[in-house]
Amino acid sequence: MAFTTMVGARIKRREDPRLITGRATYVDDVKLVGMLHAAFVRSPYAHAKIGNIDTAAAKKHPGVAGVFTAKDMQGKGMAPGLPVAPQIEGLVSPDHFPLTTDEVNCLGEGVAVVVATDPYVARDAAELVKVSYTPLPVVVDLEKAAAGAPYVHDHVKTNIAFSMPFVSGDVDGAFKAADVVVKERIVNQRLLPSAIEPRACIGSWDRGMGTMTLWSSTQIPHILRTQLALTLSVPETKMRVIAPEVGGGFGSKLNVYADEAIVCWLSRALGKPVKYVETRTENHHQTTHGRDQIQFVEVAAKKDGTVLGLRVKILANMGAYHQVLTPAIPTLTVLMLSGPYAIKNIAYDLQAVFTNTMSTDAYRGAGRPEATFLLERAMDLLARELKLDPAEVRRKNFIPSSAFPYTTATGLTYDTGDYPKTLDKVLELSDYKGLRAQQKSLREQGRYLGIGVSTYVEVCGFGPSMALPAPGWESATIRVEPTGSVTVMTGTSPHGQGEETTFAQIVGDRLGVPIESVNVVHGDTDRVQYGVGIFGSRGTAVGGAALWLAIDSIQEKAKLFAAHAWEANPADVEWREGKMWVRGDDSRSMTIGEVAFAAFRADKLPPGVEPFLDATRRFEPANFVYPFGAHICVVEVDKETGDVKLVKYFAVDDCGKVINPMIVDGQLHGGIAQGIGQALFEEAVYDEDGQLLTGTFMNYAVPHAEQMIDFELARTVTPTDVNPLGVKGIGEAGTIGSTPAVANAVIDALAPFGVKHLDMPLKPEKVWKAMQRTGDGKP
Amino acid sequence: MMPASFEYARAASVAEAIALLHKHGADAKLLAGGHSLVPMMKLRLARPSVLIDIGRLRELAGIKHEGGRFTIGALTTHAALAASKELEKRAPALWDAANQLGDPQVRNRGTIGGACAHADPSADYPAVMLALDARLHVEGQKGKREIPADKFFVGTFETALGDGDILTAISFADAPNSAYAKFHSPASHYAVVGVAVSLTLKSGAIAASRLAVTGVGDIAFRATAAEKALIGGKADDAEAGRRACSGMASGVEVRGDTFASGDYRKAMTEVFAARAIRIALKRA
């Protein structure tokens, strides 16, 4: 791989000037002629039978173009249900019509939709729709729902969406042979993804052309096009999806939402474009949630800390319905139960459970943070039980660096790794020994410092198509224009990942053009060849690999033109320093721009070569990629209040080769902050009636800038052989590594009070109560 | 977020604002910085039919200090208070509160008068007003009057302001040994517990004290037993506050929410009262 100047450089994101000066175009900035606005009538109940829906007053309200319920749509160009991708044996998939038909099963479910000349009028008229509800018993608690009635979907007589038992190795034998067994019940709480831009969409039906265009704040424009073509009975050739600027997704925009189908349907019914922009409260209520598992873990180990076996039972909350990937998320948790450790004997029992809550689905990390948190808490529990250093217990269990590729007990094959290297580096970076000494001396002064260690490996770069419930390949087109500037069309749909910069760096280096002359186009199904989208840290690992192949094709074709011009053998033409040369002859070179013009002009075509210089390639990865790392967090707990103060944060991550270190740092900063959010602040809380008590940012605490500290980052580089760039994903690693590091730090601070485990979020009150356990508060 | 429809009127003077309030009656609301009212309107929890914008009445903004007393215009922003050296030196409890209130955007737009008139039970200023024994200057149809803080905060989102009244200014005497200590919600930045204290020191001992708490009950309140217990405490006694405040929230009807239970709030009231007292004494 001949990286030269741009790849590996800290180049500022080319996207940022338009984003930070307010010149980006989001869906809500798009205004179409004659556009109408939709507002939903949403259920105030978490579970109720729907009786009469009286829309008469709303229909009469000035400015209202129409009021619609499920009955208006059923059988009239709207498919019976929204799609669910995973094919899991025995999966119970309840009907999920875009508007509720006769029963609501979670708070905020759409009952009717009002369309009006402006969004305020639509909202006013929505208040005039009278719905008669008969409340039904609500079940919110995961363990109660798993135990039986009341049922979320009464006709299926179970709340279990699917069960997945698994055993590998001799687990019973491992527990019999163990010197020690540690057990814990761990809650991985529900989170709200909280993208800064709420979801928004516009459906626009062109009556003359018979085409449907959807603008949507989505991570997956092409997949959405395919699904909506099916849902709306529009030929896929006449369906276009545009994702303009997307203000963050974190997995919550990796879906096919009811409103996306409904605005298209409404536009076709009314003959005008229809826009829907969710409010922040609607975002909290009806955009997918993340996490929400209860895990029962048992670890069997030898006295020296060697883990012999792992037994895990997981209850995973699906919510009331399956969205596109809902059931798949906890299957990633169980696949990653070995983590970076050589655990041969693993048994798990995964139960996916319906409750009267919003659907869970992908959220930054999607299943892997839950696995890492479980393992990293278990490692600390074991270290505490055996009075061993937590870092050393991890080291003892690491998969040896010589063992890669390594097949885990759960059936994954890790590509490359060197786990002791990241651990050593973070211990050195943090002066771990010094921290432990400081902790000891501060404890003597009645101050409680906590040091939390977390080591992780995660599965990403989704991924091999055969291992996913959806296609896992990615596409790229490169077009070298007659003037020598380069258009890149990527099938990924970046929305904060920085590919407009990193992809231009790669192209710039390999084709010898400045990044300013590379334009990266994405997010429009009529401009870009079919692509899969961005999720699962796949943008560069899969999308970048497709780009790499396309550059290969461009380089090969360009060589034919250069060879023809020089009357040389194409095999003697080589790419060097961004130009083509005849091997061993420094007197003549040719640039990509010169070739592009020759290929466009086509008056001196090499024999058998087509005009123009462009190429489209697709990359199907043979495996996932497995980035890894080691994080250390230092906190101080306020004895009087239980408030946790972040003191230091160190992270050593390995995502293989790095295209742009600044963007990798940025992904880690955001990821770590989000992981800290789960550990300390964030928690979506439903009460027993299924009302969301955290329906606004007044009561759902995302991390604020003032709560953060400087993160000290370092990296090791262990390239993967899964893709030609040697890169692994880094979008989710920070979140996966940080949550357990922070939680372990807080629990470590509380060790003098006999605390072994606390569930997240580690809010001051919880921490304070834990410190009151010894009565007088003294350790 | 879509508020219900409303009429908008901009007042060019206090007199015009009073006349508009009189004309529209209870359906009208005054709009100052809009950082409490507008969010409630967006959630449709508040639905005034008329908004009377007094935001441009510059005569209502500003910090004056004369003869040992501050007079602060109702439209003075939190940011202006937070930046005032005079306030930091002579009445630091209010300076503390202004600096810890909300975030920069809220501090740049929100006003002291708006916050006091809104009377949110978790707002910072009501406790500070009580501790500083502030007087709230009101103009209405019947002319001007002053309401002492002790009588101004009547209940949750409820004050002694009548229909047609405008809060124009707030005044209080210098209180160099005052402080405000706050435990804020990480989500809203409102006070989970906020304690304001103002101490009068004579010969190295506490001669008089006012101690007030916000965020805990349905209204900010004075902790009178603790105020009495503080009297006579030595300024150099670091534990004076802690002893005096022990059990201070025991009889109070305490609120709880997803962030902090009632019992925890009670315990934190004592902790933050002791902290406020410690800071106030250090300012001696």
Q: Show the domains of chain B with their CATH numbers.
A: 7-53 (3.30.43.10), 58-173 (3.30.465.10), 178-282 (3.30.390.50)
CA distance B150 to B127: 10
Which of A124, A280, A698 minimises the CB distance to B1? A280
Q: Hey, are the CB atoms on A698 and B1 less than 8 Å from each other?
A: no
Q: Tell me the three state secondary structure of residue A678.
A: helix
Distance from CA of B137 to the nearest CA of A (A): 31
Hey, what are A641's tokens?
Answer: 């209040």
Q: Which of B29, B32, B34 is nearest to B6 (CA)?
A: B29
Distance CA A732, CA B226 (A): 51
Which of A483, A473, A478, A610 is CA-nearest to residue A553? A478
Tell if the CB–CB gap between B4 and A124 is shorter than 8 Å.
yes
Q: In what order do the strands lie in the sheet with A130-135?
A: A103-104, A48-54, A130-135
Strands B143-148 and A239-242: unpaired
CB-based contact, A8 to chain B, within 8 Å: no
Nearest-CA distance from A645 to chain B in Å? 12
Residue tagged 């070298």 (tokens): A480
The per-residue pLDDT for range A24-34, each reduced to its tens digit, is 999 999 999 99
User: CA of A641 to nearest chain B CA: how many angstroms apart?
Assistant: 7
Three-class SS state of A347: strand
Q: Give the per-residue pLDDT at A4.
A: 55
User: Percent of chain A, pLDDT > 70?
Assistant: 99
3-state SS of chain A: helix, strand, coil percent to 5? 30, 25, 40
Instruction: Calculate how close chain A gets to B152, using CA atoms only, in Å.
Output: 26
Burial of A433 (0-12, 13-18, 19+ CB in 10 A): exposed
3-state helix, strand, coil in chain B (%, to 5): 35, 30, 35
Q: Do B259 and A765 touch (CB under 8 A)?
A: yes
Rounded to the nearest integer, the mean pLDDT of chain A is: 96
**A396 vs A63, A132, A381, A683, CA distance in Å?**
70, 62, 15, 34
Inter-residue contact A674 to A703 (CB < 8 Å) = yes
Contacts A706 to B, Cβ<8 Å: 103
Which chain A residues are Cβ-neighbours of B1 within 8 angstroms? 279-281
| Closest chain B CA to residue A281 | B1
Of A120, A681, A704, the CB nearest to B5: A120
Report helix, strand or coil for A72: helix
Reading across the β-sheet that carries B166-173, which strands appear in turn?
A: B63-66, B69-73, B166-173, B135-140, B143-148
pLDDT given at position A3: 41
Nearest to A397 by CA among A301, A478, A316: A301
Q: Which residue has the tokens 């978490």?
A: A46
Give me the residue label for tokens 């008590």.
Answer: A693
Q: How far is A262 from A201, CA to CA, in rounded Å?
A: 10
A189: contact with B, CB 8 A cutoff = no
pLDDT (0 to 100) of residue A775 = 46
Instruction: Judge whether A765 is closer than 8 Å to chain B, CB to CB.
Output: yes
**Distance between CA atoms of residues A489 and A527, nearest Å:** 8
Tokens of A149: 């009635």
> Which amino acid is present at B147?
I
Specify the amino acid at residue B215: G
Domains of chain A: 16-22+473-619 (3.30.365.10), 31-136+196-248+253-286 (3.90.1170.50), 290-463+623-771 (3.30.365.10)
A767 to chain B, closest Cα gap in Å: 11
Beta-carbon separation of A704 and B258 below 8 A: no
Residue A36 forms beta bridges with which residues?
A274
Cβ contact, residue pair A279, B2, below 8 Å: yes
- Show residues of chain A in contact with B3, CB under 8 Å: 120
**Interchain contact, A704 vs B186, CB within 8 Å:** yes
Which residues in chain A land under pLDDT 70? Answer: 1-4, 774-779
- pLDDT per residue over A128-146, tens digit each? 999 999 999 999 999 999 9
User: What number of C-beta contacts closer than 8 Å exist between A and B?
Assistant: 61
Give the whole-angstrom CA distance, residue A311 versus residue A376. 15
Q: What is the C-alpha radius of gyration for chain B, rounded to an integer number of angstroms?
A: 19
Considering only CA atoms, give the Rg of chain A. 28
Which residue stretches of chain B have pLDDT < 50? none
Whether residue A641 and residue B1 make contact (CB cut-off 8 A), yes or no, is no
C-beta atoms of B188 and A281 within 8 A: no
Strands (E) across A302-355 are located at 307-319, 345-354
Whether residue A765 and residue B264 make contact (CB cut-off 8 A), yes or no, is: yes
Interface test with A, best of B105, B258, B270, B271 (most A CBs within 10 A): B258
Query: A533: which 2 tokens?
Result: 């989208």
Question: Which of A350, A303, A307, A310 lies closest to A329 in space, CA to CA?
Answer: A350
Q: Rounded to an integer, what distance in angstroms lies between the CA atom of residue A22 and that of residue A119?
A: 22
Dihedrals phi, psi of A48, to nearest 5 degrees: -160, 150
Q: Is B271 on the interface with A (CB under 8 A)?
A: yes
Smallest Cβ–Cβ distance between B187 and the set A640, A643, A697 belongs to: A697
pLDDT digits (tens, 9 = 90+) for A265-283: 999 999 999 999 999 999 9
Q: Do A768 and B264 touch (CB under 8 A)?
A: yes
Comparing alpha-carbon positions, the chain B residue that sits nearest to A644 is B186
Q: What whole-number distance in Å separates Cα of residue A77 and Cα of residue A68?
A: 14
Q: Do B183 and A641 touch (CB under 8 A)?
A: yes
Residues in chain B closer than 8 A to A765 (CB atoms): 259-261, 264
Let me know how many helices (H) and strands (E) chain A has, helices first: 20, 28
- Taking alpha carbons only, the member of A41, A31, A32 closest to residue A64 is A41
User: Which backbone phi and psi does A765 adopt, to 5 degrees?
Assistant: -60, -45
Cβ contact (<8 Å) for A123 and B2?
yes
Identify the CA nearest to A533 among candidates A586, A490, A477. Answer: A490
| Sheet containing B50-53: order of strands | B7-10, B50-53, B28-31
Chain B residues lying within 8 Å of A39, measured CB to CB: 2
Positive or negative, the CA dihedral A479, A481, A486, A488 is negative
Which residue in B4, B260, B271 is closest to A765 by CB distance?
Answer: B260
Q: Does A683 touch chain B (CB under 8 A)?
A: yes
DSSP letter assigned to residue A541 = I
pLDDT for A774 equals 62
Q: How far is A152 from chain B (nearest CA, A)?
A: 25
**Closest residue, chain A, to B268 (C-alpha):** A641
At A181 the three-state DSSP class reads: strand
Question: What is the per-residue burial (b if ≥16 Cβ within 10 Å, else e) of A651-679?
Answer: bbbbbbbbbbeebbbbbbbbbbbbbbbbb
Task: Measure A635 CA to nearest chain B CA, in Å.
Answer: 17
Q: What is the pLDDT of residue A324?
A: 96
Nearest CA in chain A to B270: A640
- B221 touches A at CB < 8 Å: no
Q: What pLDDT, on the 0 to 100 scale, is given for residue B163?
A: 86
Q: Which residues of B touch A763 (CB under 8 A)?
A: 259-260
Per the listing, tokens 């770590």 go with A672
Helix (H, G, I), strand (E, B) or coil at B82: helix
* Main-chain phi, psi angles of A623, to 5 degrees: -155, 170
Please report the pLDDT score of residue B97 as a whole number: 98
Looking at the partner chain, which of A693, A768, A769 has a beta carbon nearest the beta carbon of B258?
Answer: A693
Q: By the 8 A CB rule, do A489 and A528 touch?
A: yes
Q: How far apart are CA B244 and CA B225, in angstroms?
A: 8
Instruction: Kindly state whether B181 is in contact with chain A, defined as any CB-CB distance less than 8 angstroms.
Output: no
Residue A100 C-alpha from the chain's centroid: 28
Cα A383 to Cα A301, A303, A370, A390, A632: the distances in Å are 10, 10, 20, 5, 16
Q: Looking at chain A from residue 702 to 731, which residues have their Cβ under 8 Å from any Cβ of chain B?
A: 702, 704, 706-707
- Taking the C-alpha atoms of residue A276 and residue A293, their distance in angstroms, rounded to an integer, is 32
Instruction: Choose the closest CB to B186 out of A280, A681, A685.
Output: A681
Cβ-based neighbour number of residue A19 at 10 Å: 13
pLDDT attached to residue A627: 98
Contact B277, B227 (CB under 8 A): no
Chain A residues near residue B264 by CB distance under 8 angstroms = 764-765, 768-769
